[in-house]
Amino acid sequence: MSAVVDVLLTRYNYVAVVVLVAAGLYLVIGDRNLVKKVIGMNLFQTGIFLFFITTAVVEGGHPPVIEEGVETYVSPLPHVLILTAIVVGVSLTAVALTLVVRIYSEYGTLRADLIAEMETDD
């Protein structure tokens, strides 16, 4: 029991990562509404970004901008990586939403199962 509490106390950020990733995956797979799936995908990606950021933490580190008189910096690499990953995430969401809007205008519904039925009919 103490191990779980100790993990919760000291490594809460990794727990947050797991929760986000799990929630994101569940939404993408479990939910029938297309927009909710896209939201789930976003959640999933944010979880991964959080994982990267938490690994970059250096105790007492200074934000990764060079200033005089500061020695320890938070390692900048994960931050840069996540910047690019966020850009990728945004573009994916944009393309997904465009497709959702197009599907909605054609089928009139956002429910993936109803769309599947309609597809098999025509």
- Given a contact cutoff of 8 angstroms between Cβ atoms, the answer to whether 113 and 106 are in contact is no
The DSSP symbol for 56 reads T
For another protein, the binding residues in 48-87 under the rule CB under 8 A are 48, 51-52, 55, 63, 65-66, 77-78, 81, 83-87
Query: Any residues with CB less than 8 A from the CB of 93 and at least 6 apart, and which?
Result: 38, 41, 42
Distance between CA atoms of 43 and 17, rounded to whole angstroms?
10
Q: What SS3 state is found at 84? A: helix
Asked if 39 touches another protein (CB under 8 A), the answer is: no
Asked if 110 touches another protein (CB under 8 A), the answer is: no
Residue choice 105, 113, 117, 121 for contact with another protein (CB under 8 A): 105
Contact footprint for another protein (CB under 8 A)? 21, 25, 28, 34, 37-38, 41, 44-45, 48, 51-52, 55, 63, 65-66, 77-78, 81, 83-88, 90-92, 94-103, 105-107, 115, 119
